[in-house]
Structure 1
Amino acid sequence: MAATEALLAGIDLGAGSLKVSIVRADGALVAEASRPVATESPQPGWSEQDPQDWWRACCQALRAVLAQAACPARAIAAISFSAGAHTQVLEDAQGRVIRPAILWNDQRSRAQTQALRAQADAQIFAIAANRANPTWTLPQMLWLRDAEPESFARVARLYLAKDWLRARFTGTWETDSIDALGTLMLDAASVRWSQTLCDLIGWRMATLPPIVASKAVVGHVGAAAARATGLAEGTPVVCGSSDTAAETFGAGMVHEGMGVVKLATAATVSVLSPQPRPDWALINYYHIVPGHWYVITATNSCASAHKWLRDTFFRRAGDDGSAVFDAMDRQAAAVAAGAEGLFFHPYLNGERSPHWDPLLRADFVGAGFNHGAGHFVRALYEGIAYSLRDCRDVLQARGLGFAVARLTGGGARSALWRQIVADMLDVQVELPTVADASFGAALLAGVGVGVFASEQDAAKLVTVAARTRPDPARVALYERGAPIYRDIQAALAPLNHRIHDFVAGR
């Protein structure tokens, strides 16, 4: 098969589903399929998944996408993976999963985060280029040591989510440098596991995997995986990376001056940088593009908040979920910008940028008899966009602004939401023809096996389907609304903390 005819598969494990995309070497999407994965919340602020559920979804989605593509399994030149950072799978010496995986959006390690900051805040930051927060693996594993010492003692291998899934295909154990940095156990300068950071929680270095490049071929599809998934035995397997790294790459962010705004389970604002920007308000990661970093600010709840609103107030038994979303979108579009003074803060699971406060709670403020269902949907869209503005402002204050933003994630499908983001950020918003982590993972697979000469060559295949320009009148409106949005947050933050204590019985 000629290189231009090669097919590439990208597998992305998201918070709510696993998606597989098959992409042609010219960048065209051939087929895609997804299967749901369940998240459990056994206590408020907890977020866990069963890794075996990932494997089930992966097998089903791969068989579905191969059938949809109507191609022989041997036509797949390579596969690669992505998944949310920080999410770990712990195995014992017999290769058994010890407990459910703690997700990146889990907030249980608040006390451990505070303890690490009190003990070694500056030291952690100096080594890892990031500050301890409940989203990182280091404080999560300190929680494990404190709350489940028997599980802590049994750990023989730590996998990151995409690596555990990939190991079902290859039987190998490794991670890439980007996901490794997301553990808060890596020395960012040397790209080696840090004994100093591991010693802070008594973590054994032998449990941490070898580190390879994101584009490294780490093995081939084994016989058992081939039978389970329909892939051909011997298909090359490329390591892969975190979902945001794959997604920004798949959106074409390989040069400075472009931002990527993701409207997914969470929302992020990312920019490319030739070096890290160590700052307690920012998240720093190596990028898939060699010699570059991407810098992130993030809000914890986005499409997850949209789904929560749908399922709690709009969806009835038997309703088609997508149709309900469409109806909500139409209702919101009929409401004027500003939602007649109704404000929403999307802190359903605490918040990251710029507040870094796991105890913040969501709210609708300013409701009156004049507000109907569409106002609440529009206020949700605008509230998340205000939160993204907060994220953007953190970057802009540090010289990391941008005039164009590529939009990714499920929320980007809404033309109304794209317009609100463009107006709120006062930037041109571009919607790539295909832009999600599974697409980026497929391109990365092509880089790994030489279908593309470089990451930049692969990114040249990214095309734009729609452009949305900001409207000056709405830009001015949101400029007036932003200080109100921030003042509401500041006023309610102490009450949020008191509510937390009230629920906890303190």
Structure 2
Amino acid sequence: MPDPLLLGIDLGAGSLKSTVIDGAGKVHGAASAAVETLAPHPGFSEQDPLGWRTAMIDTLSQLWRQGIDPARIGGIAFTAGAHTHVLEDADGRALRPAIMWNDQRSGRQVAALRQAQGARILELSGNLVSATWTLPQLVWTRENEPELFARIHRVRPAKDWLRRQIDGSDATDITDAWGLMLADAGGSGWSDELCRMAGIDASVLPPIVGSTQVTGTVTAAAAQATGLMAGTPVICGTSDTNAETFCGGMTRAGLGALKLATAGTVSTLTATPSFSEKVIHYPHLVPGHCYTILGTNSCASAHRWLRDTLFGTIGFDGMDRAAQAVPPGSEGLVFHPYLNGERSPYWDPDLRASYVGLGFAHGPGHFVRALYEGIAFSLRDCLEVLRGLDMGFSTARLVGGGTRSELWQQIIADVTGLVIEIPREGDASFGAALIAGLGAGVFADTQAAASVIEVKATRRPNPEAARRYEDGFAIYRETKDALTPVNHRIAAAGREGN
């Protein structure tokens, strides 16, 4: 019999991607399908879970058309963004669209929680409460949709809802449990005290299992709907960033990872997490380790917004070519990527995006390059927090869809001063496939799985560009500070207009 293949399924904010690899890490097939995000009010970000299922079936159909034999698949694993959750009733139906990790509606609830119980939440959960977490989103739902809230029978992280469509399982992993801000960071289970703050009982939360644990097998009904083979092992999986940093090669302390995906993140591995209001911690796939992470809300999503708004006729490749003709610093044009508020290091849902310094000399390429640079500055903002905590690093793996642009890769190196290594495969669906291999026994341990990771390119900082970006970073921060009170007034006016 041929060696088994491994299927990883990742639910992203804009699309769902499925990737099939073998035990040597070779990609045999990949497919993606768009997922729609709803924004019924300013700051809202929601998705219909049934759309996730449709997208998954679409990608599997594409794989079968590519010649992938479903009978060869020896394991399936899932990933998705942390914090996104599905509320189910007693019949297993979704009560409302899933509130996304980048949703900013719970700002008022966050302020109230911080004032009354912020220190206790940090002590219990290991993280600072902000609008990205499920805990304040549940409080928002309780206060604004009380009849719906009373019908909650299950709170299920996104990847676990999707996996349940395949194997019928009822479980989550410890990383996504932390992502709900309802787990006890000092133990291995749910926190009754955090659940009480959210207004729920811990009994509505799924059991917590290992990320690489087999949760079930493909059911007969799922096989009929998807083309998968009934009885194929299904593995729990984890959050997308956990999988991305692992498959990018962040498998030892002192090595960092930067992600250019829907959101942008800066991460590093640590064996001894130090909980504080400045950074976020989650358990990592590498046993006995956590990853420390800071993130900017809008990264590839801002890139896509710019394409859809101004560059629909030339697309991403045309945008990149236009940006290559613009010198470092974009001739004074500065972009702040706060299209949907901001997480690290400001934790401010009322920040807004801006282009600053426009003049007649600026053309289309300036807008693109300034966006690349502005997101790099935002990642530098996050990196400076880690450096201030003596958690900095000199080399980082770059993962996510934004890595396709060699210009953006170099800008990241020049702005951050880091040596940037680009893995051959660095997206979450590839990481999910590695997790499938761990659960199915294709890889003996995480070290064996990490052995198939390859670096395809390295970008080193250009000294001249780096000097220019030091001044640019200072201007980026100064203009952000100057615009913050104006942004707050704009956000308040928008809420009142609603």
TM band (smaller chain) = over 0.9
What is residue 280 of structure 1 aligned with on the other side?
277
Q: Which amino acid aligns with 2:140?
A: W
Alignment of 1:53-132 (within 5 A): 53-68=51-66, 70-132=67-129
Equivalent in the alignment of 1:432: 423
**Residues 365-384 of structure 1 correspond to what in structure 2 (within 5 A)?**
365-384=356-375
CA contact (8 A) 1:277 1:295 kept: no
Query: Using the alignment, how far apart are the partners of 1:44 and 1:380 within structure 2?
Result: 22
- Partners in 2 of 1:155 and 1:501 — Cα distance? 31
Cα root mean square deviation, aligned: 1.0
Question: Does 1:472 find its partner at 2:470?
Answer: no
User: 2:42 touches 2:494 (CA, 8 Å); kept in 1?
Assistant: no
SS in 2 for 1:400: coil
Which position in structure 2 is the counterpart of 1:388?
379
Give the percent of matched residue pairs that are identical in Structure 1 and Structure 2. Answer: 55
- Kindly state the Cα deviation for residue 115 of structure 1 after the two structures are TM-superposed: 1.0
Task: Give me the whole-angstrom Cα distance separating, in 2, the residues matched to 1:9 and 1:160.
Answer: 20
Tell me, yes or no, if structure 1 residue 36 matches structure 2 residue 27.
Answer: no
Q: What SS does the corresponding residue of 2:156 show, helix, strand or coil?
A: strand
Determine if the alignment matches structure 1 residue 347 to structure 2 residue 338: yes
Are 1:160 and 2:157 counterparts? yes
SS of the residue corresponding to residue 18 of structure 1 reads: strand
| 1:275 Cα deviation after fit | 1.9
Residue in 1 aligned with 2:167?
A: 170
Q: Does 1:183 align with 2:180?
A: yes
8 Å CA contact 1:92–1:98 kept in 2: the answer is yes
SS at match of 2:485: helix
Cα distance between partner residues in 1 of 2:390 and 2:452 = 29
Residue 501 of structure 1 corresponds to which residue in structure 2? Answer: 492
- The aligned counterpart of 1:364 is 355
Residue identity matched to 2:276: D
Deviations 1:474-494 (A, max 9, x none): 111111211111110111101
Offset from partner CA, 1:428-469 (integer Å, 9 cap, x none): 111111110000000011111111010111011100111111
Counterpart amino acid of residue 16 in structure 2:
L
Counterpart of 1:353 in structure 2: which amino acid? S
Q: 1:504 aligns to what SS in structure 2?
A: helix
Return the match for 1:407 from 398, 403, 415.
398
Equivalence map 1:244-323=2 (5 Å): 244-315=241-312, 319=313, 323=314
CA distance in 1, matches of 2:495, 2:276: 32
Match of 2:408 in 1: 417
- Rounded to whole Å, the distance in 2 between the matches of 1:238 and 1:393 is 36
Q: Return the letter of the residue paired with 1:25.
A: G
**Long gaps (5+) in structure 1:** none
- 3-state SS of paired residue (1:239): strand
Output the CA distance in 1 between the equivalents of 2:429 and 2:274: 27
Where does residue 45 of structure 1 map in the other structure? 43
Give the Cα separation in 2 of the matches to 1:147 and 1:212: 32
Please state how far the C-alpha of 1:177 moved relative to its aligned partner: 0.3
Distance 1:184 1:71 in 2: 39
Q: 1:66: how far off?
A: 2.8
Aligned partner letter, 1:27: G
Tell me how far apart the structure 2 counterparts of residues 151 and 206 of structure 1 sit (CA, whole Å): 18
Task: Tell me, yes or no, if the aligned pair for 1:12 and 1:19 is still in contact at 8 Å.
Answer: yes
How far does residue 14 in structure 1 lie from its aligned partner after superposition?
A: 0.2
Q: Any idea what SS the aligned residue of 1:20 has?
A: strand
Q: Is the 8 Å Cα contact of residues 29 and 68 (structure 2) preserved in structure 1?
A: no
Structure-1 separation of matches of 2:70 and 2:486: 57
Equivalents in 2 of 1:196, 1:453: separation in Å?
A: 38
2:193 is matched with which residue: 187, 191, 196? Answer: 196
Inter-partner Cα distance in structure 2 for 1:474 and 1:267: 22
Aligned to 2:449: 458
Say which SS state the counterpart of residue 106 (structure 1) adopts.
coil
Instruction: Name 1:7's counterpart in structure 2.
Output: 5
Q: Does 1:326 align with 2:317?
A: yes
Q: What is the CA deviation profile of residues 313-351 of structure 1, one whole-angstrom value per residue up to 9, with x for unaligned ones?
A: 121xxx4xxx51111111110000000111000000000
TM-score where L is the length of structure 2: 0.99
Counterpart Cα distance in 2 of 1:238 and 1:390: 36
Per the alignment, in what secondary structure is the counterpart of residue 276 of structure 1?
Answer: coil
1-side partners of 2:40 and 2:68: how far apart?
A: 42
Q: Does 1:19 align with 2:13?
A: no
By how many angstroms is 1:499 displaced? 1.1
Letter in 2 for 1:33: A
Tell me which amino acid in the other structure corresponds to 2:284.
H
Once the 2 structures are TM-superposed, how far is the Cα of residue 82 of structure 1 from its aligned partner? 0.1
Alpha-carbon shift at residue 505 of structure 1 (Å): 3.2
SS of the equivalent of 1:394 reads helix
Q: Please give the per-residue CA displacement for 1:356-392, whole angstroms capped at 9, x wherever unaligned.
A: 1000000011111111111111101000000000011
Q: By how many angstroms is 1:504 displaced?
A: 2.8
The Cα offsets for residues 47-67 of structure 1, whole Å up to 9 and x where unpaired, read as 000000000000110121133
Q: Give the distance between the partners of 1:269 and 1:187, measured in 2 at CA.
A: 24
Q: Which runs of 4+ in 1 moved over 4 A?
A: none
How far apart, CA to CA, are the structure 1 residues paired with 2:490 and 2:263?
23
Which residue identity is paired with 2:422?
Answer: L
Match of 1:336 in 2: 327
Structure 2 residues not aligned, in runs of 5+? none
| 2:426 partner SS | coil
- Distance (whole Å) between structure 1 residues aligned to residue 229 and residue 121 of structure 2: 44
Counterpart selection for 1:211 from 204, 208, 211: 208
**Offset from partner CA, 1:159-218 (integer Å, 9 cap, x none):** 100000000111111100000000111101112100111111321111000000000000
Q: Which secondary structure state, in structure 1, belongs to the residue aligned with residue 150 of structure 2?
A: helix
Q: Secondary structure of the residue that 2:496 maps to in structure 1?
A: coil
Q: Matched residues in 2 for 1:10 and 1:76: separation?
A: 10
2:185 aligned partner, one-letter code = A
TM-score, structure 1 normalization: 0.97
Number of aligned residue pairs = 497
